[in-house]
């Protein structure tokens, strides 16, 4: 009987289940969406039970579609939206509040108070993160402070905290495993990335009792086995785990220091492997754990562009410039340049390296001759420039030039955007044959966890390049005019 790995990719808007054979070929893929909850402006929640339903339904559907029996699954890998926070009752397994999503800004005032109190330097030194409502710690504290009796129950050990990887693993194992991996732990603002353990000092500062925290185990490890999961037999090892962006870095096989990937989705997430050294950023980036395999840790520098593909969706839905998102490429390619138009896609604030949540999108350089095509091209250029800023910061922190950038995500299919990116970076941009790299990373980790792969080297033969976009000059093509226009627009955003 052929064996398969099941990758569960639990994302912000839905869950994707993928069956992947032991040669890392995708046999079947199914997605199930779930509702978004917006209690008030700036707040975003999910119903954890809706998340779990999306997991079980997508898993059942992918087995049905493929005709593969659950007994053929030899390991499960989980990758997840990272900072989204759940707290539940250890006895009943029921959440005590909706999940607070990574996008939610409800704890921004709490973060501002910590910055004003002078805690930012210590938090960054310990966790590698900036003080921001993006991360899990203040979300967990908010739930404990707002749900009646929750803080006392947490301190008594009756409640459990987790990011979505932890919650899904708890449900898959029938409550037997309360666990996370270092890539997810490093996104909480509670984890010491140097000591590689939960930080009591951070927990005390933020107000999260250590009694509710999960164990931290390697990213490739048998955490437990399935128990009572609809549609799956008991006893399947849950054996791989990584946050979505780290999982994509692993799935792109960027396993050596200096290798980098960018995932172009709703936002754009650029990670560079820095090897066994946690490099503190002097340029507004995050230092994060990439993964742990065996006893070996890998770290990464990370920068996030909050709006990438979402800017194209805005052209489609808000301005009605195009009917379908892929149409932006044809429209943008119909003009040779932007005609002097600059678009900073700060529609949800600015992430790294600026970290300005008050920033807003801005378009400059409009003239009577500006057309839809110029705005479409400026949108793609704005996405590419935002990513180029991140890579410039990474190269400055790491002290070396990048030779290539591996890309994935929906917008990586836009050839014009990828060529722009290559020119602005001054290096090759490489798109793989399989762009489901987030799920692929989780599958490889699970394969290592159950012993199908001895190590990541055994998986390298399965990665294949689909197209390489070459920089014609071999050096950054950000002209002085573009740089000046961009910097001026950023200041006004």
Q: What integer best gives the mean pLDDT of the chain? A: 91
Least confident of 49-53, 183-187, 337-341: 337-341
What CA–CA distance (Å, rounded) separates 409 from 440? 13
Given this model, what pLDDT does residue 283 score? 86
492 against 341, higher pLDDT:
341
Whether pTM > 0.85 for this model: the answer is yes
Of all residues in the chain, what percent carry a pLDDT higher than 90?
67
Nearby residues of 322 by Cβ (< 8 Å), 6 or more positions away: 312, 315, 316, 328, 331, 376
CA distances, 190 to each of 202, 203, 250 (Å): 5, 6, 24
Tell the residue number behind the tokens 């014609």, with chain if given: 472
Other Cβ atoms closer than 10 A to 192: 18
What the block records as the tokens of 55 is 């997991």
Given this model, what pLDDT does residue 39 score? 92
Of all residues in the chain, what percent carry a pLDDT higher than 70?
99
What CA–CA distance (Å, rounded) separates 270 from 395? 12
**pLDDT tens string 78-130:** 999 999 999 999 999 999 999 999 888 899 899 999 999 999 999 999 999 98
Are residues 10 and 51 in contact, defined by beta-carbon separation less than 8 angstroms?
A: yes
What CA–CA distance (Å, rounded) separates 241 from 437? 14
- Residue 440's pLDDT band (cuts 50, 70, 90): very high
Are residues 77 and 239 in contact, defined by beta-carbon separation less than 8 angstroms?
A: yes
What the block records as the tokens of 153 is 């129950």
Given this model, what pLDDT does residue 473 score? 65
DSSP state of 261: E
477 against 6, higher pLDDT:
6
Are residues 406 and 432 in contact, defined by beta-carbon separation less than 8 angstroms?
A: yes
Given this model, what pLDDT does residue 370 score? 94
Average pLDDT over residues 277-301: 92
DSSP states of 322-376 as a string? -SSTTHHHHHHHTSSS-TT-EEE--BTBB-TTT-BTT---EEE---TT--HHHHH
Are residues 129 and 123 in contact, defined by beta-carbon separation less than 8 angstroms?
A: yes
Nearest to 19 by CA among 34, 10, 9, 33: 9
Nearest to 126 by CA among 319, 354, 335, 288: 288
User: Please, what are the domains in the chain?
Assistant: 4-245 (3.30.420.40), 253-493 (3.30.420.40)
12 against 107, higher pLDDT:
107
């Amino acid at each position: 009987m052929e064996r398969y790995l099941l990758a569960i990719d639990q994302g912000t808007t839905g869950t994707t289940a993928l069956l992947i054979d032991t040669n890392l070929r995708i046999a079947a893929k199914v997605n199930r969406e779930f509702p978004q909850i917006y209690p008030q402006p700036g707040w975003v929640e999910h119903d954890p039970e809706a998340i779990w339903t999306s997991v079980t339904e997508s898993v059942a559907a992918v087995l049905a579609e493929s005709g593969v029996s659950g007994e053929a699954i030899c390991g499960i890998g989980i990758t997840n939206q990272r900072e989204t926070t759940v707290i539940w009752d250890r006895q009943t397994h029921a959440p005590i509040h909706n999940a607070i999503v990574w996008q939610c800004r409800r704890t921004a005032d709490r973060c501002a108070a910590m910055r004003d109190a002078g805690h930012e330097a210590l938090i960054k030194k310990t966790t590698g993160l900036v003080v921001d409502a993006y991360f899990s710690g203040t979300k967990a504290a908010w739930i404990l402070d707002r749900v009646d009796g929750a803080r006392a129950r947490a301190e008594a050990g009756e409640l459990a905290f987790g990011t979505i990887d932890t919650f899904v693993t708890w449900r898959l194992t029938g409550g037997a495993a309360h666990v996370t991996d270092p890539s997810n732990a490093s996104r909480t603002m509670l984890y010491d990335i140097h000591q590689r353990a939960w930080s009591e000092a951070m927990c005390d500062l933020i107000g999260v009792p250590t009694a509710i925290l999960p164990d931290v185990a390697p990213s490739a490890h048998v955490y437990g086995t399935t128990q009572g999961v609809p549609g799956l037999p008991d006893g399947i090892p849950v054996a791989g785990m990584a946050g979505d962006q780290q999982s994509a870095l692993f799935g792109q096989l960027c396993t050596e220091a200096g290798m980098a990937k960018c995932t172009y989705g709703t936002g754009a997430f650029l990670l560079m492997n820095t090897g066994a050294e946690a490099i503190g950023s002097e340029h507004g980036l995050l230092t994060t754990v990439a993964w742990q395999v065996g006893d070996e840790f890998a770290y990464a520098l990370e920068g996030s562009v909050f709006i990438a593909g979402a800017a194209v969706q805005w052209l489609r839905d808000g301005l009605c410039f195009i009917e379908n998102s892929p149409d932006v490429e044809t429209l943008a390619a119909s003009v040779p340049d932007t005609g002097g138009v600059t678009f900073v896609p700060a529609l949800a604030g600015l992430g790294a390296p600026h970290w300005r949540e008050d920033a807003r999108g801005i378009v400059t350089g409009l003239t009577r001759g500006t057309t839809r095509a110029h705005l479409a091209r400026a949108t793609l250029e704005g996405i590419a420039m935002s990513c180029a800023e991140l890579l410039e910061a990474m190269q400055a922190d790491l002290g070396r030039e990048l030779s290539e950038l591996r890309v994935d995500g929906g917008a990586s299919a836009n050839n014009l955007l990828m060529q722009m990116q290559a020119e602005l970076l001054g290096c090759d941009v490489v798109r793989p044959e399989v762009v489901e790299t987030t799920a692929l990373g989780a599958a490889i980790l699970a394969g290592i966890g159950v012993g199908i792969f001895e190590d990541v080297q055994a998986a390298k033969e399965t990665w294949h390049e689909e197209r390489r976009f070459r920089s014609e000059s071999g050096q950054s093509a950000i002209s002085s005019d573009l740089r000046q226009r961009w910097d001026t627009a950023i200041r006004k955003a």
